């Protein structure tokens, strides 16, 4: 009723606008038609009424055309040229004398009224105005109808629906996350062969939550499920539920589940569910009422009084810590599948998938690439091979070689290559800084092995020292953390030894942040200090997560002072160790700096061989515990 009343009001206003425009156009047209002859008359009138009568008597007039409507006569004189326009003479109200004299002197007299032509011109002018206005009115009414329809459909779900999803992706295209894939393959089996499970009393899971870092393959898994299951598939983002209008999000949730139940069994995929599933009552002022209403409706639809038989919900998020606890309980999301970054075997399988359509040289080893990329996600590896292919095309090569792979790894990790440094004091200072890191990492047995050290600028860094962490080692020991702190301080220690305290630079700023963070974690989280095995700091719950209004200190000021003292002692001890090792191996450091300044890059294998030869240690001894 409200919608129809609104539409009627819109139509009345539109018709009123059209009527007013027609009236205005008619007044303008009339003024034009009346004013134009007057102007012409003033320009061309050369005879008066009396003069016309005299010329009729003298026989100078050959033809007269009378126009009673305009009260004028068009006079053709005897001495006028054939192409010259006739003279205009304004007439009186009654002109019997003119008629009598014209007939008496055999003057050709005609009466032609312009009223008919004026009416025709006026009708044509009105049509010229009315037709465009009618067209605009119809366009306005159609747009008003569309607006009304959009208002009525505002609460409808915006989920993309496919009766049989054709994503082009199957489980064969998903690699490196075998555990997550196995969990979801079971869901597909539930949908295809439910009798296998219901025969022994098992019920189909209502929801599966995919949790993992960005780029690990959560959306890819959802596409694979859609491609394998062969059932109706709905896909939507969490942000598409919430609008600025109250109640719209809840209405869309209801509409989505209504459609899903009509097509059951089916799948619903909600990407980035943390946009709508955050903890209720969170933030300053109690939270967002509209988002919380949407969440309440989602909780009711997933496992409420009526239930959602035959509808399986798959959701993805990289922020499980902010989700409401009612959303995570069994009965709503029965399974939480962790999608972690792949290990060495997983990276190799992912590289094989993405290398199917790439031309790789025979010398390229995918296993070697997998070993060089610990911590890379599936998206990172796909981007790595794509960057290598782009570099190959730019260099006009027929196949991707190991050189393009190495450059692509550097670009993905550190950024674009910058302008090489020129030979100067600054270049030598950076060389000592990077060699300080690399030499200490090679001398310390508990440190990760060196991958390479380079002076080629990338991103914001003027030089880089890269290591290959041992990923098989899930836990990190106290000696390994201290070795990392010592090697990280190697750059500042090398500057101090070679150039003196007055010449140390800001290049170690990021290194000092890492060192301080590691030392504080040793004291407050890992219990690796004289304070004992205590966890003194926990992850603070921010205000927007809806926890405490103010963050509380979990220890006294005295303990805080002792924590600061312990952090300083750990960092100072490691810095003194770094100074001692570099001073003892100063000749090796100088030789490596000269070589690095000349070559600009030293690979880890070559670096270790030089250090082993000069320190008379074998590479096996340098690689102890790696």
Q: Which domain holds residue 210?
A: 160-338
406 within a domain of the structure (yes/no): yes
pLDDT beneath 70, residues of the chain: 1-46, 69-70, 93, 113-123, 125-127, 143-167, 243-247, 282-288, 305-308, 470-474, 538-553, 616-626
Quote the number of domains for the chain.
Answer: 4
Statement to judge: residues 445 and 568 lie in one domain: yes
Statement to judge: residues 110 and 69 lie in one domain: yes
Query: Distance between the two ends of the chain, CA-based, in angstroms?
Result: 77
Statement to judge: residues 435 and 398 lie in one domain: no
Q: Residue 233 forms beta bridges with which residues? A: 162, 267
Boundary residue ending a domain (272, 305, 338) = 338
By DSSP bridging, strand 266-271 and strand 311-317 are parallel
Please tell me the distance from the alpha carbon of residue 14 to that of residue 140, in angstroms, as a whole number. 8
User: 533 near 271, Cβ under 8 Å?
Assistant: no
Beta strands across the sheet bearing 87-90: 87-90, 72-77, 61-67, 108-111
- What pLDDT digit, counting tens, does each position of 14-53 carry? 444 444 444 445 544 444 444 434 333 443 446 777 777 7
Statement to judge: residues 361 and 452 lie in one domain: no
Please tell me the distance from the alpha carbon of residue 423 to that of residue 226, in angstroms, as a whole number. 58
- What pLDDT digit, counting tens, does each position of 163-212 carry? 666 667 778 878 888 888 888 888 888 877 878 888 888 887 888 899 98
pLDDT at 173: 79
pLDDT at 435: 93
- Cβ-count burial of 316 within 10 angstroms (0-12 exposed, 13-18 middle, 19+ buried)? buried
Boundary residue ending a domain (338, 360, 378) = 338
How far, in Å, are 177, 348, 352, 365, 370 from residue 345 at the CA level?
Answer: 10, 5, 11, 14, 8
DSSP-H helix ranges across 378-424: 378-394, 402-414
Is 434 among the catalytic positions? yes
Please tell me the distance from the alpha carbon of residue 143 to that of residue 151, in angstroms, as a whole number. 12
Calculated CA dihedral for residues 579, 582, 586, 592, nearest 10 degrees: -140
Statement to judge: residues 218 and 188 lie in one domain: yes
435 within a domain of the structure (yes/no): yes
pLDDT at 205: 80
pLDDT at 246: 58
pLDDT at 127: 67
Give one DSSP letter per residue of 540-598, joined into a string.
Answer: PPPGGGTS-SS---SS-HHHHHHHHHHHHHHHHHHHHHHHHHHHHTHHHHHHHHHHHHH
Statement to judge: residues 394 and 246 lie in one domain: no
The set of residues, in sequence order, having a beta carbon less than 8 Å from that of 351 and lying 6+ positions away, is 366, 369, 370, 381, 385
141 within a domain of the structure (yes/no): no
User: 469 near 374, Cβ under 8 Å?
Assistant: yes
Statement to judge: residues 331 and 354 lie in one domain: no
User: 400 near 359, Cβ under 8 Å?
Assistant: yes
Q: Computed from CA positions of residues 283, 215, 210, 228, in that sequence, does the dihedral angle turn out positive or negative? A: positive
Check 228, 240, 434, 495 and give the catalytic one. 434
Backbone angles phi, psi at 331, to 5 degrees: 105, -25
What count of residues does the chain have?
Answer: 626
- Cβ-count burial of 287 within 10 angstroms (0-12 exposed, 13-18 middle, 19+ buried)? middle
Q: What is the CATH number of the domain that holds 471?
A: 1.20.58.760
Statement to judge: residues 295 and 238 lie in one domain: yes
Give one DSSP letter per residue of 255-281, joined into a string.
Answer: HHHHHHHHT-SEEEEEESGGGT-BPTT
Please tell me the distance from the alpha carbon of residue 381 to that of residue 386, in angstroms, as a whole number. 9
pLDDT at 572: 95
pLDDT at 556: 84
- What pLDDT digit, counting tens, does each position of 535-589 carry? 887 654 444 444 444 455 677 888 889 999 999 999 999 999 999 999 999 999 9
Boundary residue ending a domain (414, 439, 464) = 414
pLDDT at 566: 93
Statement to judge: residues 379 and 329 lie in one domain: no
Please tell me the distance from the alpha carbon of residue 492 to that of residue 512, in angstroms, as a whole number. 9
Statement to judge: residues 244 and 215 lie in one domain: yes
Residues of the chain by 3-state class (helix, strand, coil), percent to 5: 55, 10, 35
Statement to judge: residues 444 and 551 lie in one domain: yes
- How is residue 364 written in tokens? 């390229």
Statement to judge: residues 349 and 314 lie in one domain: no
């Amino acid at each position: 009723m409200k919608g129809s009343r609104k539409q009627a009001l819109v139509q009345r206003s539109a018709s009123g606008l059209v009527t007013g425009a027609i009236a205005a156009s008619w007044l303008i047209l009339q003024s034009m038609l009346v004013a134009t002859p007057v102007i012409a008359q003033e320009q061309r009138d050369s005879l008066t009424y009396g003069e016309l009568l005299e010329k009729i008597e003298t026989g100078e007039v050959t033809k007269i055309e009378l126009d009673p409507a305009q009260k004028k006569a068009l006079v053709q004189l005897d001495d006028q040229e054939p192409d010259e326009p006739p003279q205009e003479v304004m007439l009186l109200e009654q002109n019997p004398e003119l008629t009598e004299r014209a007939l008496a002197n055999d003057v050709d007299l005609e009466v032609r009224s312009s009223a008919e032509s004026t009416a025709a011109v006026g009708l044509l002018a009105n049509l010229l105005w009315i037709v465009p206005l009618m067209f605009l009115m119809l366009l306005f009414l159609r747009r008003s109808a569309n607006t009304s329809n959009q208002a009525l459909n505002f609460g409808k779900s915006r989920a993309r629906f496919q009766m049989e999803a054709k994503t082009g992706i199957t489980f064969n295209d998903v690699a490196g996350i075998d555990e997550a894939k196995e969990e979801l393959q079971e869901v597909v089996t539930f949908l295809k062969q439910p009798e296998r499970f219901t025969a022994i009393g098992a019920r189909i899971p209502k929801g599966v939550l995919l949790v993992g870092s960005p780029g690990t393959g959560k959306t890819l898994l959802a596409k694979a499920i859609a491609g394998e299951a062969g059932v109706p598939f709905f896909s939507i983002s969490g942000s598409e539920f919430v609008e600025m209008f109250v109640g719209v999000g809840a209405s869309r949730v209801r509409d989505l589940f209504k459609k899903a139940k009509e097509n059951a069994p089916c799948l619903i995929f909600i990407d980035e569910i943390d946009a709508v599933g955050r903890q209720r009552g969170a933030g300053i002022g109690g939270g967002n009422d509209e988002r919380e209403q949407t969440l309440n409706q989602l909780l009711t639809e997933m496992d409420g009084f009526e239930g959602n038989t035959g509808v399986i919900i798959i959701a993805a998020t990289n922020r499980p810590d902010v989700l409401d606890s009612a959303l995570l309980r069994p009965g709503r999301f029965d399974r939480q599948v962790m999608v972690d970054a792949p290990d060495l075997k997983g990276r190799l399988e992912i590289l094989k998938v993405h290398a199917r359509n790439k031309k790789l040289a025979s010398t390229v080893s995918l296993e070697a690439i997998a070993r060089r990329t610990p911590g890379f996600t599936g998206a990172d590896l796909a981007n790595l091979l794509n960057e290598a292919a782009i570099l190959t095309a730019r260099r006009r090569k027929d196949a991707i070689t190991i050189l393009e792979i190495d450059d692509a790894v550097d670009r993905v990790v550190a950024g674009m290559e910058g302008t090489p440094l020129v030979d100067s004091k600054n270049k030598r200072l950076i060389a000592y800084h990077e060699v300080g890191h690399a030499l200490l990492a090679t001398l310390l047995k508990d440190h990760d092995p060196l991958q390479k050290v380079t002076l080629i600028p990338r991103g914001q860094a003027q030089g880089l020292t890269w290591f290959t962490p041992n990923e098989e080692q899930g836990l990190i020991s106290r000696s390994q953390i201290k070795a990392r702190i010592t090697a990280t301080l190697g750059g500042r220690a090398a500057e101090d030894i070679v150039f003196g305290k007055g010449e140390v630079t800001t290049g170690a700023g990021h290194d000092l942040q890492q060192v301080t963070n590691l030392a504080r974690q040793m004291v407050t989280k890992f219990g690796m200090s004289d304070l004992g095995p205590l966890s003194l700091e926990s992850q603070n719950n921010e205000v927007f997560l809806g926890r405490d209004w103010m963050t509380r200190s979990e220890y006294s000021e005295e303990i805080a002072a002792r924590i600061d003292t312990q952090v300083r002692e750990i960092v100072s001890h490691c810095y003194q160790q770094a100074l001692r090792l570099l001073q003892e191996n100063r000749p090796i450091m100088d030789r490596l700096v000269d070589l690095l300044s000349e070559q600009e890059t030293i690979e880890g294998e070559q670096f270790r061989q030089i250090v082993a030869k000069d320190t008379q240690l074998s590479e096996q001894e340098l690689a102890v515990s790696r």
